[in-house]
Amino acid sequence: MFPSIFNDVLGPIMRGPSSSHCAAALRLGWLARDLAAGDVEEVTVSFDQNGSLATTHESQGSDMGLFAGILGWDAVDERLPESIRTIRDSGVKIEIVTGDFGFDHPNTYRIAVGARWQRHVLTGISTGGGMIEITEIDGIPLSLFGDYWETLIWIAGQPGDAASRLAARIGVDDIVLHPSADGVLLQVKAQRFIEDPEIAECCSDGDVRCVRRLRPVLPVRSRRGISVPFSTCEQMLRLDDGRNLPPWELAVQYESQRGNLSGDAVIDRAIQIVQILRASVKQGISGTTYRDRILGHQCGRFQTRMQEGSLLDGGLLNHIVLNVTALMEVKSAMGVIVAAPTAGSCAALPGTCLAVADVLDLTDEEAAKAMLAGGLIGLLVAFKSTFAAEVCGCQAECGVASGMTAAALVSVARGGVRQATDAASMAFQSCLGMICDPVANRVEVPCLGKNVMAASNALACANMALAGYDPVIPLDEVIETMDRVGRSLPRELRCTALGGLSVTKTSKDIESRLGQPDPQGHHDSPQ
């Protein structure tokens, strides 16, 4: 699947502390609900004790997101914090177990869902930034990303020419045959669901055992024959051909081709994101409250001191710090934010772009183009690596956000794509090895400081690139290095709350005060 700026980098639009946990889990919940045809009486969720979710699923929003998805809620529903209570009150039997299941990916969910007359089991992973992949259904390995209207048809025995007849008569994008113990699962990817009369026409009625329809969960869908203009920085610079085009233009070109959208549609969607973020910044500065968080409202005091002139003169940087902290407070209070590229790193890029827009009196369209320039760098990371801190540490979140922000600032200063990629390279180099160690198992501390650091580093690197500083190492090589370094970090330093600041005495005291079970003394039992 080709990454999309609006799927993988600037989004999802969501509530919750973590995109890897909450937004991705919600999407998995939607798909599990569809797999059960909405008939859900029992849910069993299994986490591997050697992964990340075993120690973080309660505090970072996995449970909340998953059950909200099973209830059919969306990612901005204000009821999200009540999803677990709501689903239990509805009479659904819930069981969460942890054991040694041998899952390969640290963010793996095994979800058994159904009722007395039917039961299906879905295995899926949160791949970072709210993106997901279904890797198995009912013991049958497959690959499903939520980017198509998927019709699943279980056929007893051999399918005969059912697949070819479906392909010929209905014009589907793809049909994948998955052998099972007693037949075949036809996975039909299309721009719409395959209806029952069409299935009956192409398949023998007596052979069709079950049909399930899984809705797409991504805003930008896939289609047959997708191509994109580049997938690496080197290819992008060749396309630029020394013209030093504004980076946002290449972002629009990519997303238009990837998503089958007009250039105006791409910019309009980015403007909508900017407008959502403006409202979030305003909400953060005015003040937020939430029971289950470490930090209270702080950015209002920063604004007051800045207006009084009692802070050191940071110029633009002080405006950036204000916006970044405002967005982080909104996120921690379960307000609406936009993952960029993740919820844990949601503030650096948009906080900076909006601060610059305010200081320079830029329009929302100009701010949106800066966001798209940042998204361009995120695309290059999506092709080669991951945004999941559970896989590569916080360098995959705040580190990536810093490089994206540096490119956005270059774009605002009317620099070209070469300068933008140079700025991103320098920013990434400064963030290699950044660990993920949430205090008290919440996505607040040191996340707040890391978002501020990401933005500050981006400002410096953007100006260095605009002044002609040499990054030395090409961006493609830096991204490859980030991936290699991140995967070599110990598990304890990759968003498990088992190392770094997470295990300090103060962190444990806060954790106890907030009522969060100690990850190392997890109370779930193996299945």
Three-state SS annotation for 324-350: HHHHHHHHHCCCCEECCCCCCCCCHHH
Angle separating helix axes 447-466 and 316-332, nearest 10 degrees: 150
Other CB atoms within a 10 A radius of the CB of residue 260 amount to 13
Q: For the chain, list residues with pLDDT below 70.
A: 205-206, 516-527
Q: What is the per-residue pLDDT for 205?
A: 63
Q: Contact at 8 Å (CB) between 51 and 107?
A: yes
The reported pLDDT for the residue numbered 134 is 98
Asked if residue 293 lies in contact with residue 332, where contact means CB atoms within 8 angstroms, the answer is: yes
Residue type, 17: P
Q: Give the DSSP letter string of 104-142.
A: SSTTEEEEEEEETTEEEEEEEEEEETTEEEEEEETTEEE
Q: Could you give the CA distance from residue 412 to residue 99 in angstroms, rounded to a whole number?
A: 50
Burial of 469 from C-beta contacts in 10 A (0-12 / 13-18 / 19+): middle
Question: Could you tell me if 223 and 216 are in contact, meaning their C-beta atoms sit under 8 angstroms apart?
Answer: no
In one letter, which amino acid is 450?
K
**Closest to 444 measured CA to CA, from 375, 399, 511:** 511
Residue type, 8: D
Is residue 368 within 8 A of residue 48, CB to CB? The reply is no
Q: What is the pLDDT of residue 78?
A: 96
CA separation for the pair 18, 68 (Å, rounded):
14
Alpha helices, H only, 395-504: 398-412, 417-429, 447-466, 475-488
> With b meaning 16 or more CB within 10 Å and e meaning fewer, what string describes 346-361?
bbbbbbbbbbbbbeee
- Hey, what domains does the chain have and what are their CATH numbers? 148-215 (3.30.70.100)
DSSP assignment letter at 515: T
pTM (2 decimals)?
Answer: 0.95
Amino acid 103: pLDDT: 96
Q: Are strands 93-99 and 42-48 parallel, antiparallel or unpaired?
A: parallel
Q: Report the C-alpha gap between 153 and 151 in whole angstroms.
A: 6
Phi, psi of 280 (to 5 degrees): -65, -45
Where does residue 175 rank: exposed (0-12), middle (13-18), buried (19+ CB within 10 A)? buried
Half-sphere exposure of 518 (CA within 13 A, CB side): 10
Q: Is the dihedral of CA 98, 99, 101, 106 positive or negative?
A: positive
Contact 436, 493 (CB under 8 A): yes
Q: What's residue 33's pLDDT?
A: 97
Instruction: Using the structure block, give the residue that is written with the tokens 């800066």.
Output: 370
pLDDT tens digits for range 162-200: 888 888 878 899 999 999 888 999 999 999 999 999 999
